[in-house]
Every structure is written in C-alpha cells, then in structure tokens.
Amino acid sequence: MAKLAHDHTAEDCVELVSIFQNLSKSDKETIATLVTHHHYKSGEYLFSAGDEADALIIVAHGQAKVFQMSANGKEQMLRILQTGDFDGEAALFTNSDHNSFAQALMDTAVCQIKRSDFQKLMQQTPELAVNMVNALGRRVGQLEQQTTEVTTASVESRLANYLLETSAGLDDAVFTLPLKKKDIATYLGTTPETISRKLTALAKQGMIEKITNNKFKILDEDRLMMID
C-alpha cells in the first residue's frame, strides 16, 4: 500500500486513486482543488448503510473496517481500508446509497471528492472529461491483473502487510490488533486458526514479538516487507 505523511496534501490523495494516476499533472492538480479533508476518531463512522454514496473516499492515514449487518444483527466483514486505499469510484458517476458501514479502527484521516463537484468540473472541462474516460478504460484492463495478484499472494505476505499497515497507522511498533482474529481471517481470505499459526511462526522467526494474545511488536520490518 502507498504511504502518506501525516501532512498529506490534496495532490497526494489524488495520486493514490488509480483512475487518476495516468492523468497529466495539470489534470491532477485540477481534481485536487475538489478535495476536502476529514478526520475520524477511532470508533467513528465514515458512512453507514442507507447514507447517500455521493463521494469518493481516500484513506490518507489510518484504517477503517467495511462491514454489513446480517439479519441477526451480527457484523459481516467485507474489507479493510488502509492508508492508500479508496472507496466509491462509482459514486463519482452514479447515484446510489451505501449498503454497508465503514468504521474507523484508529484515528483516520480521509480525503473526499463529492460527485456534484466532480461532475461540474467534467462539464466545465471537456478535455479532462475525455481524459477520464480513457483512464477508466485503462482501469478496466488493470482489474483482472490485480485480482490475479491478490489471489496468488501468500497468506503470510498479506498478514505481514496487514501488521505493517496497522503499526504504521497507529505510529507504534507495539500495538494491539484493532480487529478480532476471525475478522482478520475474513479480510485475508483464510481461517482464524491459520492466522494464529502464522502469527506464531512470524514470532518464532524473530520478525514480530507476541506480547499477549492480541498485542504484538514489530521486530524486523524489512523481513516482513520481503515476504511473498
């Protein structure tokens, strides 16, 4: 995942979003004028089911869980938004409502681009609108390749990345996991038992220290980053 400094700029946020990355510097600077900044405390909701999905959300720093509520009132984890992730590309182009919840797992800084502002800009700048259509075409071509890369990455690699992102988001090498292991397992596409086994293995290899069942310390960031 991309890393941003705490003093991230609107341009930094725009640079993270794949549909903007191949635009010219001038186009990106124009889109950056639409960015607004928001901060959420741990536990606060970025959005809730039923809210209008009227903005692209870019996580500049922090972490949030996206989940749905089942009929019996239990949370069903969908994904985790970490530093550099974004949600709601479609919201820039279509009217819809959120069917899920997003809750900050730690203090989280978010950049937003409202659909109304974005579409107004497209109408005022036809050349940028054409560039966006071309960018969307390239994005469609990238999705299949990205899906393959995600599904072939090892559980160890994905877990190591999650630990590094969580540590970075909390700005501390020593941290308590903000999610239950069953939710981490859902996010990483594996089982809670496998998560426990892999954490134990990483500790035995000297990459992390297991302080308590849910509290860990990063010991070797470089080796964790190199796991594939």
Per-residue pLDDT of 8-58, as tens digits, reads 789 999 988 877 877 889 989 999 999 999 999 999 999 999 999 999 999
Sign of the C-alpha dihedral computed for residues 176, 182, 183 and 186 taken in this order: positive
Query: pLDDT at position 193, please?
Result: 94
Question: What is the per-residue pLDDT across 147-181, written as a single tens digit (0 to 9) for each?
Answer: 554 555 688 998 999 999 999 999 999 999 999 99
Place of tokens 């190199």: 226
Read off the pLDDT band of 100 (50, 70, 90): very high
Question: What is the per-residue pLDDT across 104-114, written as a single tens digit (0 to 9) for each?
Answer: 999 999 999 99
Higher pLDDT, 102 or 87: 102
Query: 3-state DSSP call for residue 64?
Result: strand
% of the chain exceeding 90 in pLDDT = 61
Contact 43, 104 (CB under 8 A): yes
Residues 84-91 have a mean pLDDT of: 86
Query: pLDDT at position 153, please?
Result: 66
Strand partners of residue 77: 67
Contact 26, 121 (CB under 8 A): no
Sign of the C-alpha dihedral computed for residues 130, 117, 114 and 52 taken in this order: negative
Q: Of all residues in the chain, what percent are helix, strand and coil, respectively (each to 5)? A: 45, 25, 30
Contact 108, 57 (CB under 8 A): no
Q: Check whether 139 has a pLDDT greater than 90.
A: no
Query: pLDDT at position 1, please?
Result: 45
Q: Are strands 101-104 and 55-61 parallel, antiparallel or unpaired?
A: unpaired
Nearest to 178 by CA among 158, 197, 190, 163: 163
Tell me the pLDDT of the chain averaged across its residues: 87
Q: Check whether 126 has a pLDDT greater than 80.
A: yes
**Whole-angstrom Cα distance, residue 138 to residue 151?**
21
Dihedral-angle region of residue 44 (phi above 0 means left; psi in -120 to 50 means alpha; beta otherwise): beta
